[in-house]
């Protein structure tokens, strides 16, 4: 298997690390049937990639065999943000696999995080929806879920393109990232309905980028506030929250 070195995994402030740790523990409480997890949001920039990468790292560090699938095939930021170093200049990734140009073993990389594996997007495309509707995508998630304890899938936002709905329909559960004080309530409600229509159970909502001063759980050493809340998939109840 090829490997990728992530050079730039930021050290999180204490409060952030603790909140993500709680998220990790709560995911464990969701049981074995939630293995393929989509991390999504209503709009761009709410923190999907941030949450998925850090959650992936924490699950792996806790000894769970975890793969992060970068399914943002329109504008993946992982490679530049984490300064990934790979053997070749353009290593094969998700697009190559879905287009039938590579096999799963060629696009799965182990990393410098113990138990942490990555399926990156190394090449972006204009219309990934076509690739996501293939049996290859469904088969890939199923194969990964047989080998790994968790398959985390980072996606584009639900509100702008169909990719998120297509991915959600193939996952066991969803984490919806909501940017505190920014994402309109109506859009959050619409996203919950979208997930429900896709037949994907809502595992929880991650309220991200909470202003430290507004966070009741604020700890004096934390620079960022986080609050994650878990509840059932009842979308009306969830939208109210």
Binding residues for ligand ATP, per CB under 6 A? 41, 44-50, 72, 77, 157, 208-209, 224
Q: Which is nearer to ligand ATP, 108 or 210 (CB)?
A: 210
Instruction: Tell me the angle at which helices 14-29 and 48-61 cross, rounded to the nearest 10 degrees.
Output: 70
CB of 44 to Mg ion, least distance (A): 8
- State the minimum distance, in angstroms, from the CB of residue 176 to Mg ion: 14
Q: Which is nearer to Mg ion, 43 or 222 (CB)?
A: 43
Interface stretch with Mg ion, choices 35-43, 46-54, 100-108, 168-176 (CB under 5 A): 46-54
Given 48, 57, 96, 209, the residue binding Mg ion (CB under 5 A): 48
Nearest Cα to 202, choosing from 184, 217, 188? Answer: 188
CB of 24 to ligand ATP, least distance (A): 15
Closest contact distance (angstroms) between CB of 16 and ligand ATP is 6
Q: How far apart are the first and last CA of the chain?
A: 44
Binding site partner of 41, from Mg ion, ligand ATP, none, Cβ cut-off 5-8 A by kind: ligand ATP
Residue 44 partner contact from ligand ATP, Mg ion, none using kind-dependent CB cut-offs of 5 to 8 Å = ligand ATP
**Beta strands 150-154; 66-70: pairing state:** parallel
Closest to ligand ATP by CB, 141 or 178: 178
Gyration radius of the chain over CA positions:
17
For the four alpha carbons of 121, 195, 65 and 102, in that order, the dihedral sign comes to negative
**Which listed residue (40, 42, 49, 180) binds Mg ion by CB under 5 A?**
49
The site for Mg ion (CB under 5 A) is made up of 48-49
């Amino acid at each position: 298997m090829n490997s990728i070195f992530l050079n730039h995994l930021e050290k999180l402030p204490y409060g952030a690390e603790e909140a993500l740790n709680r998220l990790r523990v709560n995911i464990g409480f969701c049981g074995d049937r939630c293995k393929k997890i989509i991390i999504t949001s209503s709009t761009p920039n709410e923190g999907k990639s941030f949450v998925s990468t850090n959650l992936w790292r924490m699950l792996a560090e806790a000894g769970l065999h975890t793969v992060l699938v970068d399914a943002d095939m329109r504008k993946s930021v992982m490679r530049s943000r984490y300064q990934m170093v790979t053997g070749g200049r353009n290593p094969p990734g998700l697009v190559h696999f879905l287009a039938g140009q590579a096999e799963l073993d060629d696009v799965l990389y182990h990393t410098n995080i113990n138990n942490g594996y990555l399926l990156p997007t190394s090449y972006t495309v204009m219309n990934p929806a076509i690739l996501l509707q293939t049996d290859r995508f469904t088969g890939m998630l199923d194969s990964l879920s047989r080998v790994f304890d968790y398959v985390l899938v980072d996606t584009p936002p639900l509100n702008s393109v169909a990719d998120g709905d297509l991915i959600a329909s193939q996952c066991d559960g969803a984490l919806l990232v909501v940017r505190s004080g920014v994402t309109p309530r109506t859009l959050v409600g619409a996203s919950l309905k979208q997930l429900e229509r896709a037949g994907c159970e809502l595992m929880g909502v991650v309220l991200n980028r909470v202003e430290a001063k507004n966070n009741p759980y604020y700890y004096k050493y934390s620079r960022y506030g986080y609050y994650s809340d878990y509840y059932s998939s009842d979308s009306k109840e969830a939208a109210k929250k």
